[in-house]
Structure 1
Amino acid sequence: MTGTLYGLGIGPGDPDLITLKALKLLQAAPVLAYPALEDGDSLARAIIAPHLTTPKIEIAIRIPMTVERAPAQTVYDAAAEEIGKHLDQGQDVAVLCEGDPFFYGSFMYLFGRIAEHFPVEVVPGVSSLTACATALQSPLSARNDILTVLPAPLPSDILAARLRDTDSAAIMKVGRHFERVRDLISELGLTDNARYIERATMAAQKILPLADVPADAAPYFSMILIHKRGQAWK
C-alpha cells in the first residue's frame, strides 16, 4: 500500500479560513510539504502553524522567484521525487497550497508529476479572489455578468481588450505592474469602479482608493476588482 498525496487548499491567509476537511487531513498526515521562498520563510506554513499539533517530517519546496520557467521546473521535479519516496513507504503527504490548489495554485505542478503514479486527493480552499471580494464588500458578479480574471503581467493591449469586453474583472498578481495597470484603468475610464486590496484576510490587510496607492508599494499579494456597474447588485 502506498501513501496518498493530499493537496490542501489552506485559504488566503487567515488561519481560521481552512476547511474542516483540510484541517483533519493536515493534522493526520505524517509528512508535510509546502512552498517557501528560495532563501526565506514559507507563508503557507505560517498560515497553518496554529493548527500543527504533532511533529511532522517537513519538506520545504524552495521556489526561485524568476520569470524563467526552467529553474522552478527543476525544483518541482526534485520535490516530486522526494515526496514520492515517502508515498512509496506508505506515508501520506499533505502539500499546502495558499488559496485553492487549482486556482493559480502551485500544487498543480506537483499534481502533474505525481497523479499518474500515486493516489491524490485535492481539497479545495477559499481563494484569494473570493477573499478579496468579501473584504472589499464587493460582489464579483450577478445574473448574467461575465467575470474575467486577469494576471497583471499580461501586456497592456491584452488587458485593455479583456477589460473592454467584460462586465466584471479581477486583476491579480499586481505587484510591480501596479502603476502600468492603474494608468490603463484610468485610460479606460474605470477608476471610479475599481477597488484595491492587498494581503486580504491577513493581519497586514490594507484597502486603499486606487489613486492613493504609492506607485512602488503594491505587493505581489494585491488585487484590483472592477465592476462596470459599480456594484453587481445595481
Structure 2
Amino acid sequence: MSGLMIEKGRIHGVGLGPGDPDLMSVRADRLLREASHVAFFRKAGRTGQARRILDGILRRDVVEIALEYPVTTEIPVNDPRYNCILSAFYEESAARLRALSHAGQDVVVASEGDPFFYGSFMHLYTRLRDDCPIEVTPAITGMSAAWTATGVPITWGDDILSVLMGTLPEDTLVAQMDRTDALVIMKIGRNIDKIRRALRRAGRFDAAWLVEYATMEGQTVQKLSDAGERVTPYFSIIVVHGTGRRP
C-alpha cells in the first residue's frame, strides 16, 4: 500500500525593509502574521535586528527558527576560512528549511532590507530553488532609507549610481568613486578609515554623508566630515549625492 504524496511546503523569502516595521510591504506583513514557521538570521547570543522588527507581528503559536551565524567579523572576509565556514552554515540552514518544506510546512524567512540585495537569504535561495517551491517578497532597501534620511535626492537626470562595499581594497574603492556620479557605501564598520582615505583621494569626502540606523531608533544624519574619526556602527551607510542634469 503506497503512502500519500505530501505536497511540499512553500518557502517565502520576505524582505523586512530598512528597520521601521511601518515600512514593510502589505504582503510581507500578511505573510508574517499568518506564518506558522518563521526563520530569521542573527548572530549567536543576540536577539538580532530581524527578530526585533518582528516583535508584536507573529502568531502566538509560531515556530521560530533562529539561523545563527557561526562567524561575522571575527575572521577577515578575505581569509579562506570565512567562506568555508559560512558555506557550511548555509548548507545546514538550507537543509533545515528543506526538511520542513518536504514535510509539507510553509516557512517564511524574514530578511533585513531586500532579500536579493546583499542579503543572507540569497545563499539559501540558490540552494533551495531547485527542489522546493520558493517565492521572494521584495522590500525597501537600507540604502534607500539612508539617502531619504538626508533630505536630498540621490540621483538626477543621467546620474550613474554605484553601490560599493567597504570591504573592497582601497585602490578599488578610489577607482569606482572616480567613475560614478552618486555613491552609496555599505559594510562600513571597521573599514571606515580606509573608506575615508578613499573618499579623500577621489575628491568626494566633503560631499559625503553618514547615516546611522536609518529609520530606526537612534537614527543620525550628518556630514561625514563632522563625524570625527570614530568607528561607525553596523547599521551605517555613507551617501554621496549625484548632481546631474535637471530641467
Q: Deviation of residue 141 (structure 1)?
A: 1.1
1:32 aligns with 2:38: yes
Which of 104, 128, 138 is equivalent to 2:152?
138
Partner of 2:61: 55
Structure 2: which amino acid aligns with 1:34?
F
* C-alpha contact 1:5 1:94 (8 A) present in aligned 2: yes
1:5-30 Cα distance to aligned partner (Å, 9 max, x none): 00000011111111110111111121
Partner of 1:192: 206
* C-alpha contact 1:176 1:218 (8 A) present in aligned 2: yes
Q: Deviation of residue 75 (structure 1)?
A: 1.3
The alignment partner of 1:58 has SS state of: strand
Supply the distance in 2 between the matched residues of 1:12 and 1:232 (Cα, whole angstroms): 29
The alignment partner of 2:47 has SS state of: coil
The alignment partner of 1:50 has SS state of: coil
Supply the distance in 1 between the matched residues of 2:234 and 2:172 (Cα, whole angstroms): 20
Supply the distance in 1 between the matched residues of 2:187 and 2:152 (Cα, whole angstroms): 19
Partner of 1:109: 123
Q: Deviation of residue 122 (structure 1)?
A: 0.1
Partner of 2:139: 125
* C-alpha contact 1:149 1:171 (8 A) present in aligned 2: yes
1:194-234 Cα distance to aligned partner (Å, 9 max, x none): 111111111021112212224233012211111353x8859
- Output the TM-score relative to the length of structure 2: 0.89
Q: Deviation of residue 88 (structure 1)?
A: 1.2
1:90 aligns with 2:104: yes
Moved over 4 A (4+): 231-234
Please identify, of 184-193 and 107-116, the stretch whose mean Cα deviation from structure 2 is larger.
184-193
Larger radius of gyration: 2
Please identify, of 91-100 and 185-194, the stretch whose mean Cα deviation from structure 2 is larger.
185-194
Could you say what the CA RMSD is over the residues aligned between the two structures, in angstroms?
1.6
- Output the TM-score relative to the length of structure 1: 0.94
Q: Deviation of residue 109 (structure 1)?
A: 0.5
With over 3 angstroms needed to count, the CA separation of the structure-2 counterparts of 1:219 and 1:232, relative to structure 1, is farther
Structure 1: which amino acid aligns with 2:64?
E
Partner of 2:4: none
How many residues get paired?
Answer: 233
Partner of 2:3: none
Supply the distance in 2 between the matched residues of 1:198 and 1:24 (Cα, whole angstroms): 29
The alignment partner of 2:158 has SS state of: coil
* C-alpha contact 2:206 2:225 (8 A) present in aligned 1: no
Fraction of identical pairs, as percent: 36
1:157-214 Cα distance to aligned partner (Å, 9 max, x none): 1111111111111011111111221122123222232111111111021112212224
